[in-house]
A and B are shown apart, each in its own frame.
Chain A
Amino acid sequence: MRRLISVIVLNEHGVLARISGLFAGRGYNIDSLTVAPIPESDFSRLSIVTNGDERVLEQIVKQLHKLIPTYKVIEDASFVEKEMALVKIPLSEDFAGLDAILKGYNGSVANSSDEFIVVMVVDDASRIDSFLKTVKKFNPIDIVRGGSVIMDM
């Protein structure tokens, strides 16, 4: 079962290694993990997407808590989840319909060159999945997903 966990940790040396090492060492899955400092504080926020049954999830949460730099683990809230994706499409493609698709996914053209355009979309992870399926017909050269960022409500 897919799970979202938001973790607030002291923004100190090696803290990301502690978290990722915990998942690796205990055999937990990481579907995505994003991290950035929380403005005007000593803390960072991690957004973790994982999967596992109730028992595994309970252990993940407890083990995260057990790490000394962990301040807070939020997992039972309702979350806003957004993920960003960048897609590079050659200019040689026929862009018919691309505009409408982008609109549907809060997308825009992020940049372009004489060979390709880069489009970006922001949406929840499952909608990003369907967007990426849809734009396959434009034969993208490269796709970068940002991983989910989540905020508890």
Chain B
Amino acid sequence: MKELNGSQMISEALRLEGVEVVFGYPGGAALNIYDETYKQDHFRHILTRHEQAAVHAADGYARASGRVGVAFTTSGPGFTNAITGLATAYSDSVPLVLISGQVGRALIGTDAFQEIDAVGISRACVKHNYLVRSIEELPRIIKEAFYIARTGRPGPVHIDIPKDITAEIGLFEYPNEVSMPTYKPTYKGNSKQIKKAVAAIKSAKRPLAYIGGGAISSNAAEPVRKLLAMSGIPAVQTLMALGVLRDDDSLNLGMAGMHGSYAANMAISECDLLISLGARFDDRITGNTAEFAKGAKIIHVDIDPSSISKIINADYPIVGDLATVVNQIMDELNSDAGIDPSLYAPWRDTLDKFKALYPLDFDDSEGVLKPQWVIKQTAQIVGDEAIISTDVGQHQMWVAQFYPFNSPRQFLTSGGQGTMGYGLPAALGAKVAKSANAVINFTGDGSILMNIQEMMTAMADDIPVINIVLNNNFLGMVRQWQTFFYEHRFSSTDLSLQPDFAMLAASFGGVGYRVKTKDEFKKALKEALDSKKPAIIDVVIDRFENVLPMVPAGAAIYNMILDDKGKR
């Protein structure tokens, strides 16, 4: 036990948690914390140029590495700027700890300068939060925060620390273990339920695995791949799950949902047993819930009991950690006669027909660049090791459809919140976590401007990420909806007036390109990779390209718009 002030306690606790990097932005209420940050040398601090980006960067770091991301902000606006980052991480179950400064205890409640009820604001978008009320409880709170962030269903935890506590001296003893009588996540699935689920699998004729982001959070990709391989059960993946299965896995039917593949959505509609593995039946997956997997029994595996039967009633609910439960399912499948993958061969034949009927495709052109071509070409150039982030919109869906993801934690995207501005800072976080890997942010001409200031962070801290702007001079996804459902009234979506993105990149000290042809694109990407500098490649694409297939909002997922004749 030693005497430390609150800021030293924070620093020491981060050391004990093995934190190697913090993304943040200083300010009045965080001065003491930042002074201690300056003095220590066990974690790297990266100054982002906006607090939202600090949290997204910590989020990208966490998703790419599987570790807890950490961010600092000051009080008031510094903190409120971080909220979008917290909401993004909360929706996608990303483990984060945000430490924000708060005005001194004597000033709390007086409407002091840069005072805001931070825990009141963050409550709705974090897994848990704390307002530290005394120096004595600070070590325990930090310990609990990291524990809560990474265990159970992971998520962001916010700690708000009054400035006087960051200077006050107290006894520091970091707890070895967390003892919380009120928080005990369930990891192992109930064995009776697993028996029942396995019996359902064995008697099913058309079983389908529906894999969600939980497969990545719980590091379950390997057991899930094994389960499918041994049983021959085909699978669809959600946006958040891409990479759990290899892109070319013959059992992989692709992404399901609003912009999912024909085969994936038809498989859900035709299956007689849907095995949900860490997915939560988001409305972007289900469409009309009354028609979703209508003829199927549902096995729902989730670590969060509140996800089960929230949207679609589960016939076989199993609460537990996905990797653990999938292993239990495999043990049970193997327990007596095992399982014969040929059992489902007729079902797989049907699905192969769906696949062949409407494969994901696009009309390539030599006259104008197609975004899908750019995405596929990028994958060919950067290879399997590259980490891909996206912003939100058409480019995000094209990447999800056409980029061949082959490993978990390779694809970082804001699924639940759909946060524009996520891509660049998340790419920075990922590059810090995996400095040997190329990191590419696919973005749009709308999204990139939402956190463009992070090009400066990339330069200052030498974090060479490449932004590929699929530029159609539109807020393209909204434009697409306006085309399909609002009679081409492009209300506030025309972005004809734009900065020169190549010059913008150069002004930050990075490298920039504007490309209009295939050759120009290939050359620019190779140059950008070789430059080892932050880069923006502004790719002029077909202005009116649509994302297809598309399930109109609220429609049954088997009612897909497959071509856009007359809708361009």
Residue positions of A touching B, CB distance < 8 A: 9-10, 13-14, 17-18, 21, 25, 55, 58-59, 62-63, 65-66, 68-71
Pick out which of these stretches binds chain A: B304-312, B429-437, B449-457, B534-542. B304-312
Contact B131 A10 (CB under 8 A): no
B289 CB to closest chain A CB (Å) equals 12
| Least CB separation from B308: chain A residue | A62
Most buried by A among B119, B120, B123, B306: B306
| Least CB separation from B120: chain A residue | A17
B566 at the interface (CB under 8 A from A): no
Complex Cα gap A68–B185 (Å): 10
Q: What B residues does A71 contact at CB under 8 A?
A: 181-182
Contact B124 A25 (CB under 8 A): yes
Contact with A along B175-207 (1 / 0, CB 8 A): 000001111000000000000000000000000
Most buried by B among A13, A25, A66, A69: A66
Known: A21-B124, A66-B304. 10 other contacts (CB 8 A): A14-B119, A17-B123, A58-B309, A59-B310, A63-B306, A66-B305, A68-B127, A68-B148, A69-B182, A70-B182
In-complex Cβ contact of B183 among A18, A25, A58, A68 (8 A) = A68
Q: What B residues does A68 contact at CB under 8 A?
A: 127-128, 148, 180, 182-183
Q: A14-B131, A58-B309, A59-B310 are in contact. Are A21 and B123 (CB under 8 A)?
A: yes
| Least CB separation from B182: chain A residue | A71
Query: What are 22 inter-chain pairs, A to B, with CB distance below 8 A?
Result: A10-B182, A13-B133, A14-B123, A21-B124, A25-B124, A55-B309, A59-B306, A59-B310, A62-B305, A62-B306, A62-B310, A65-B305, A65-B306, A66-B304, A66-B305, A66-B306, A68-B127, A68-B180, A68-B183, A69-B182, A70-B182, A71-B182
Residue positions of B touching A, CB distance < 8 A: 119-120, 123-124, 127-128, 131, 133, 148, 180-183, 304-306, 309-310
A63 CB to closest chain B CB (Å) equals 5
Q: What A residues does B120 contact at CB under 8 A?
A: 17
Complex Cα gap A58–B309 (Å): 9
Closest 5 CB pairs of A and B: A62-B306, A68-B128, A71-B182, A68-B183, A66-B306
Q: What B residues does A55 contact at CB under 8 A?
A: 309
| Least CB separation from B306: chain A residue | A62
| Least CB separation from A59: chain B residue | B310
Q: What A residues does B183 contact at CB under 8 A?
A: 68
Complex Cα gap A17–B183 (Å): 18
Q: What A residues does B305 contact at CB under 8 A?
A: 62, 65-66
B442 CB to closest chain A CB (Å) equals 33
Q: What A residues does B304 contact at CB under 8 A?
A: 66
B83 CB to closest chain A CB (Å) equals 14
